């Protein structure tokens, strides 16, 4: 199965050499959904917002699922590699530094970013996972060989982790296991347990913005 082209919006920053913020939407969203959140994080970065290639009852997603909360893990891996290949191709075209890429995703988009963290731990400079679920039940015991990106994470990569305390789609015990997995892999987790369900709230965005400004503001 060949990788498919990805639909995206790219908005360059005014200053050259800026960091790039990668946005991945939730189920049924598109490349426009998270642009308002980007605006609340700051303006000192390029924005690359991508639409998922998978359709579920006409709703865009980033990978297939077999049921609610049950992922097609073969497709998760394929779509993870597809996204990384896309990023490697578009970075030189748009002239942004792939080593200075921060990803933010909601729900299904957060789950694909989580898969990138697990399979390509050196790729991202940081990641914000809004309403995440662990995307892979079987993950490599060690970084995979024969790929420059697949090394131990560089100086703990900061990860913002925001589950919903009343989220009916996620088992709280599974959330704890996922948070522990990321911490054990060497990522520096900042956790915000939102007093909410699966939907995002203004406080989620405010907390994500504070995390971004703490770790990345003017540090490109």
- Per-residue pLDDT, averaged over 209-217, amounts to 94
Residue 161 — pLDDT band, cuts 50, 70, 90?
A: very high
Q: What are the tens digits of pLDDT across the range 1-10?
A: 689 899 999 9
Check residue 152 and give its pLDDT: 47
**CATH number of the domain within which 185 lies:** 3.40.50.1820
The residues that are catalytic are 107, 167, 198
pLDDT category of residue 154 using cuts at 50, 70 and 90: low
In this structure, is the dihedral angle defined by the CA atoms of residues 151, 210, 218 and 42, taken in order, positive or negative? Answer: positive
In a domain, 3, yes or no: no
d(CA 96, CA 46): 8
Cβ neighbours of 92 (radius 10 Å): 9
Domain span at residue 176 reads 8-216
Res 149 pLDDT > 80 = no
How many independent structural domains does the chain possess? 1
Strand partners, 205: none
- For residue 67, the model assigns a pLDDT of 80
Strand 19-24 relative to strand 101-106: parallel, antiparallel, unpaired?
Answer: parallel
Assess if residue 138 is contained within a domain. Answer: yes
User: What pTM value is reported for the model?
Assistant: 0.92
- What is the pLDDT at residue 70? 86
Please compute the mean of the pLDDT values over residues 156-165 and round it to a whole number: 97
Whether 39 is covered by a domain: the verdict is: yes
- Rounded distance, CA 126 to CA 116, Å? 11
Per-residue pLDDT tens over the stretch 2-36: 898 999 999 999 988 999 999 999 999 999 999 99
């Amino acid at each position: 199965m060949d990788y498919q082209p990805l639909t995206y919006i790219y908005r360059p920053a005014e200053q050259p050499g800026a960091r790039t913020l990668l946005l991945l939407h939730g189920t049924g969203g598109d490349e426009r959904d998270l642009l308002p959140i980007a605006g609340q994080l700051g303006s000192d970065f390029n924005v690359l917002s991508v639409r998922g290639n998978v359709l579920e009852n006409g709703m865009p997603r980033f990978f297939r699922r077999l049921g609610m909360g049950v992922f097609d893990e073969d497709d998760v891996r394929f779509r993870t590699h597809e996204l990384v290949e896309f990023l490697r191709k578009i970075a030189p075209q748009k002239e942004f530094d792939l080593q200075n890429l921060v990803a933010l995703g909601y729900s299904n988009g957060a789950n694909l970013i989580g898969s990138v963290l697990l399979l390509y731990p050196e790729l991202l400079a940081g990641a914000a996972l809004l309403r995440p679920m662990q995307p892979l039940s079987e993950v490599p015991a060690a970084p995979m060989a024969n790929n420059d990106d697949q090394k131990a994470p560089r100086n703990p990569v900061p990860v913002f982790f925001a589950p919903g305390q009343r989220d009916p789609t996620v088992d709280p015990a599974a959330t704890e296991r996922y948070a522990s997995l990321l911490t054990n892999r060497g990522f520096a987790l900042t956790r915000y347990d939102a007093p909410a369900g699966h939907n995002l709230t203004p406080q989620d965005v405010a907390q994500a913005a504070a995390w971004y400004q703490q770790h990345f503001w003017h540090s490109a």
